[in-house]
Structure formats: C-alpha cells, structure tokens
Amino acid sequence: MKKLFALALGILTAIGGFVDIGDLVTNALVGSRFGLSLVWVVAVGVLGICVFAEMSGRVAAVSGRATFDLVRERLGPRLGLANLLASMAVTALTLTAEIGGVALALELATSVNPYLWIPVVGAAVWLVLWRVRFAVLENAFGLAGLALVVFAVAVWQMGPDWSALWNDATHPSVPGNESLPTYLYYAVALFGAAMTPYEVFFFSSGGVEEHWTADSLRTMRANVFVGFPLGGLLSVSIAVATALVFLPEGIQVGTLGQVALPVVLELGKIGLALALLGFFAATFGAACETGLSVGYSIAQYFGWQWGKYVPPLRAARFHTVVLLSCIAGVALLLTTVDPVQVTEYSVVFSAIALPLTYFPILVVANDRTYMGRHANGRLANTLGTVYLVVVIVASVAALPLMLVTKAGQ
C-alpha cells in the first residue's frame, strides 16, 4: 500500500512538475498563432524527454553518476568546460525566466508591480533551496502544479468540435497568415520547451541524491513514461484553450495574464484561482529546479560536493553557486527585461544547447563497463539514435531560423 502510494505520488509530481514557464508561454503563444498545427511537436518533444530522462535516470541509478559528472568524464576538461559554460548560460536564463514567471503570477493575483515581486521571489527561491528538504520541495510544487488541469477542464467546458480538433492536430499545415520559417521557428521553440536540459540535470542529480539503485529503475520508468506524457497533455490543453479562444479573435499571447484568460472566461474566479496556483507552483518549482541545476552542473564538473543530502556547510561551494545564481537571475530581471521575452529566448537556446548533454548521456548509457546488463537495449538505442538526429537538427536550425524570422515576428 505504502509502495503504491509512493508510486502514485511520484507520478503525480512528475505530471505537475512537467510544466514550467517555457511550456506555459510557448504553448499558449503557439496555440493562439498556429492553432493545433504544432501539437505534433509537443508529442515529439515529450517522447524525446522520456527517452533522455530514462537514459540519464538509469545511468544515475546504476553508476551513481549524474549528468555533468559524465559530461566532464566523456568530453574531457576542455570540451567539457565549453559545454558547461553553454549549458549553464541556458539554465541561468531559464532560472531568470522562471523567477520572472513567479513574479508575473503574483502580479496577476495582487496587481502589485512585478518588479517589486522579483527580489522577494528571488529571496524566497533561495530560502527554499537553503532550508527545505529535497523531497518536500519536489512533492509540494509538483502536486500544486496539478492545478493546471483547469486548462483541460476549461477546454472540456467549451465543448469544442473534437473531431475537427483531432483533424487539425493530425493534419498539420502552416496557417495562411504565417510563413514557413516562422512555423519552423516555433516548432523548435516548442521542442526546446518540452526538452529543456535542466529537467534532465535535475532528474539525474535528484536520482543520485535519493540514492537510486538498479532496484529503483521500475519506479523511475513509471514516473517518466506515465508522468511525463500526462504532463505533456497539460501543455497541449493550454495550447488548445488558447487556440479555441484567441485564434478566431486574432489575439497573440504575449503575457501570462493572457494565458489565463480562456480559463477565466470559461470557469470564472475559481478557474482563475486554480490557474494562478498552477502558474505559481509550476514556475516556483521550476525556479528551484533550475537554481539547483546551475549548482549541480558546476559542482559536478569540478567534482565538488553538491546536493541537499549533505548539510550546507559540507557543500559550501555548491551553496555559494546557488546563492549567486539566484542573485544573478534577479539582477538580470531588474534591468526591466520582459520575463515573457526571456522565456521565449530561453526555450530556443535550450534547443540549441540540448545535444551538448544528450550526446554524452547516450554514449555512457551504452558503456557496458558501468552499466552491465542495464546498458541500452535495442529499443533504447533505436529511439536514442533517432532523437540524436532530431536534437542535432533542431539545434543547428535554431539560430538561422531565429535570424530569418527576427525571433518569430
């Protein structure tokens, strides 16, 4: 019974923890501009993050080594360092976007200027990372993130023509008023939002923190293969909601307030409250995950003691890095950049940086010296190779598409 409860809890937190500011903004934006014609990308991205997370979780469980540990080991100090800098820049950008997202969610609840919230949020994120236990952090925000299910409820209430929706999603085409490069640019953005590198840093490092062993593989796979696709459905429901309400009106989503509007129109104040709770939990949880991930990646590259399973004084360098990254995120936001725009860039840069960590994990998951009988089988390698190609194509295409479309305008 207890085991079943733990399994259910793991899956529920995986669902609620799947969505972050990148998923919220990108799905809403794409839904309002492209309808359901890009839903296939979410499906591709979700399967991709399942493949990636399963491999890195398995490597973490069997070898006890987290992602950046292996990046350094397999790429050497030089290429590993370049990789570290790129991945850290992207993760720090994501952290910035998440802190901004929390501030925007609080603004929607209180109408207090987000720039007043930003320092408070930064301090709160750091305090949680400093004081709160890992399991509490993961479960609390994961469960509260389930409130985003209101988007699915709102779509249900709207009573759309389901067969037409299905037809739109399964027969994708570029909408008449959008160009092909813009369509592809948002495809890359949506892919980057679903397959954000920090998710895997956090997942594998969390596995090491929780002392996974080969016996934990079944639970880990259940979380990944049930939790992530259901989390992906939450993302899709956001896109469907904005597509139904905004596409006919010609509204393009550019703020978090607009993301919530379909739910408000359909479900009223209770819907609004749940949507805001979901926004808050999703972004705050992700801010904690990205903050930790910055610390994880630097500490793992240099071999420093990291993690929340040792007392803070034992991991002084790790906690200093986490503190500095929270300060840096807040400082960047206080230059009055628009958090939504930071989010839009962060998902594209995520797609660009993805091969840097995907490739070493794919290689190590095949190393029989470490992995023994848990090395990649035929299915894992087929999917792993297909996604290696997908990830590289998305990464290479991202910058040219950004140039051509002026970042999707």
Question: Looking only at residues 315 through 344 of this chain, which bind another protein when binding is defined by CB under 8 A?
Answer: 316-317, 319-320
- Residue 272 touching another protein (CB under 8 A): yes
Half-sphere exposure of 161 (CA within 13 A, CB side): 4
- Contact between 399 and another protein by CB under 8 A: the answer reads yes
Q: Is 245 helix (H, G, I), strand (E, B) or coil?
A: helix
- Could you tell me how far CA 312 lies from the centroid of its own chain? 26
3-class SS at 307?
coil
Contact region for another protein (CB under 8 A) — 178-186, 189-197, 266-274, 287-295?
Answer: 266-274
Minimum CB distance to another protein smaller for 143 or for 363: 363
Question: Least Å distance between CB 321 and another protein?
Answer: 10
Binding of another protein by 136 (CB under 8 A)? no
**Residue of 180, 213, 218, 396 interacting with another protein (CB under 8 A):** 213
Whose tokens are 């299905």? That residue is 166
Report the b/e string of 275-307 with b at 16+ CB within 10 A: bbbbbbbbbbbbbbbbbbbbbbbbbbbeeeebb
**According to the binding rule CB under 8 A, does residue 381 interact with another protein?**
yes
Compute the least distance from the CB of residue 388 to another protein, in Å: 8
* In the complex, least distance from residue 50 CB atom to another protein, rounded to whole angstroms: 17
> Does 313 participate in binding another protein (rule CB under 8 A)?
yes
Site for another protein, residues 55 to 94, rule: CB under 8 A: 62-65, 69, 72-82, 85-86
Closest by CA position to 254, among listed 347, 152, 339: 339
Contact with another protein (CB under 8 A): which of 19, 108, 155, 243?
108
25 binds another protein (CB under 8 A): no
Residue (141 or 279) nearer to another protein, CB: 279
User: Hey, what are 11's tokens?
Assistant: 């899956």
Which residue, 146 or 375, has its beta carbon nearer to another protein? 375
CA atoms within 13 A on the CB side of 35: 20
The amino acid sitting at 362 is: L
C-beta of 289: minimal distance to another protein in Å? Answer: 20
Q: Which stretch in 1-9, 90-98, 235-243, 305-313 sits in contact with another protein by CB under 8 A? A: 305-313
Our finding on whether 120 is near another protein (CB under 8 A) is no
Binding status of residue 179 toward another protein by CB under 8 A: no
Closer to another protein by CB, 171 or 218: give it. 218
CB of 362 to another protein, least distance (A): 7
Nearer to another protein, 111 or 335 (CB): 111
Q: What is the DSSP string of 383-402?
A: HHHHHHHHHHHHHHHHHHHH
Q: 8 vs 386, which CB is nearer to another protein?
A: 386
Distance CA 52, CA 67 (A): 11
| By the rule CB under 8 A, 402 interacts with another protein | yes
Tokens 């990649």 sit on residue: 376
408: left (phi > 0), else alpha (psi -120 to 50), else beta?
left
- Asked if 226 touches another protein (CB under 8 A), the answer is no
Total residues in contact with another protein, by rule CB under 8 A: 86
Query: Is residue 287 a contact partner of residue 95, using CB atoms and an 8 Å limit?
Result: yes
Q: How far apart are CA 135 and CA 128, in angstroms?
A: 12
Q: How far apart are CA 166 and CA 158, in angstroms?
A: 15
303, 335, 373, 379: residue in contact with another protein (rule CB under 8 A) = 303
**Nearest approach, Cβ of 333 to another protein (angstroms)?**
16
Which sign does the torsion angle of CA 156, 347, 256, 172 carry? negative
